[in-house]
Structure 1
Amino acid sequence: MLTPVEDGPAIVVCNTCRFSADAREDGQGRRGGTMLAEALAQARDADPRYAGIAIQQMPCLFACSEHCTVHLRAPDKVGYVLGRFTPDADAARALLDYAVAYAASEHGKVPFAQWPQGVKGHFIVRVPPAGLVVES
C-alpha cells in the first residue's frame, strides 16, 4: 500500500483529482490532478531554481470536496494541503515558487509577503510533522 519515495521537499499531487469544481475531467477525458502533475514536472524541469523540489503522485488525497489538490511536505516541517487550482503552467509555477521558499524556511512557515499570488486562497489545511505541534 505504501511506496518509498525521496525524503526531501516534495509536492505530492493527487493524480485522481477532479478537473474543476464542476467537472471530473476535461473535454478529452483527463483528470485535473494528472494534468497538474504534468504541468509541475514540466515547470520544474524547465527552471533550475526548482530542481530541489520533487514532484510525487498518488491517487486520492481525500480532499474530494476540492479539486486539483496537492500536499507540500518536507522532513521536520509543517506540511500544507492546497487545492482549487487550474491545472496549468501558471499554477505549477506558483506552487513551485512557494515550494522553494518553503524548502528554504526553518520550519515550513513562509512569511505571507513572500507568497506567490497564485497560492493565496488555496490553502486547505496545515499538518504538523510527526511528534510535533505548531506554536501560535
Structure 2
Amino acid sequence: MGAMPASTADGTMTTWITICETCRLNGWVPGDISTTDGERLAALVEAAAQGTDVRTRRHPCLMGCSQGCNVAIQAEGKMAYTLGRLDPDSATAAAIVAYARHHATSDSGVVPWRDWPERIKAHFVTRHPPLPR
C-alpha cells in the first residue's frame, strides 16, 4: 500500500511544482557555473512558494532538455501541465507559483487564460489529463 496523497486543510489535493534541477539553458558550458540553471530556478521557486498552499520538489531531468528550464504542475485528479523555456529569475519563479496557486483552487486544474501570469503565458509545453480512477 502506497503513501496517502497530500491534501490541503480544506481536503483538496495538494498542487505540486516539480522543478527539473538538471536543466541547462543554451550556451551553458560545464565548469562555467557551480549550479545548473535548473538548480537556480528550483531555489527561486522554493523561496516563492514558502508559506503558500503549493508544494515543491526537485527532480533530475524532466526530459525537456531542448526547452529548459522546465517545471511540471500537478495534483491528483487534475489536469497537469509542463512549462518550458523558463528563465531562472525571481519574476519567473513568482509567476510559476502564482499559476500553481490558481491550479490548486481549481476543481479540474484548468486555470482560465485571464488568470495566467503574463510571465509564463508563452511557456506551456504540454498538458496531461488526470489518470482515470
The TM-score, its normalising length taken from structure 2, stands at 0.85
* Matching of residues 26-41 of structure 1 within 5 Å: 27-41=32-46
Q: Does 1:107 align with 2:115?
A: no
5+ residue gaps, structure 1: none
Judged with a 3 Å threshold, the aligned counterparts in structure 2 of structure 1 residues 9 and 16 are, in CA distance, closer, same or farther, namely: same
**Equivalent position to 1:12, from 3, 8, 18:** 18
- Give the superposition deviation at 1:88: 1.2
* Matching of residues 1-136 of structure 1 within 5 Å: 7=6, 8-18=14-24, 20-23=25-28, 27-45=32-50, 48=51, 51-131=52-132
- Counterpart of 1:79 in structure 2: which amino acid? A
Q: What SS is found at the alignment partner of 1:42? A: helix
Percent of residue pairs bearing the same amino acid type: 33
Q: What SS is found at the alignment partner of 1:109? A: coil
- Give the superposition deviation at 1:6: 6.0
What CA distance in whole angstroms lies between the structure 1 residues aligned with 2:72 and 2:48?
17
- Give the superposition deviation at 1:24: 5.2
The answer to which of 4-13 and 93-102 deviates more is 4-13
Judged with a 3 Å threshold, the aligned counterparts in structure 2 of structure 1 residues 5 and 86 are, in CA distance, closer, same or farther, namely: farther
- Counterpart of 1:73 in structure 2: which amino acid? Q
5+ residue gaps, structure 2: 7-13
- Counterpart of 1:31 in structure 2: which amino acid? T
Q: Retained in 2: the 8 A contact 1:6–1:54? A: no
What CA distance in whole angstroms lies between the structure 1 residues aligned with 2:117 and 2:30?
27
Q: Retained in 2: the 8 A contact 1:24–1:31? A: no
The TM-score, its normalising length taken from structure 1, stands at 0.83
Judged with a 3 Å threshold, the aligned counterparts in structure 2 of structure 1 residues 5 and 54 are, in CA distance, closer, same or farther, namely: farther
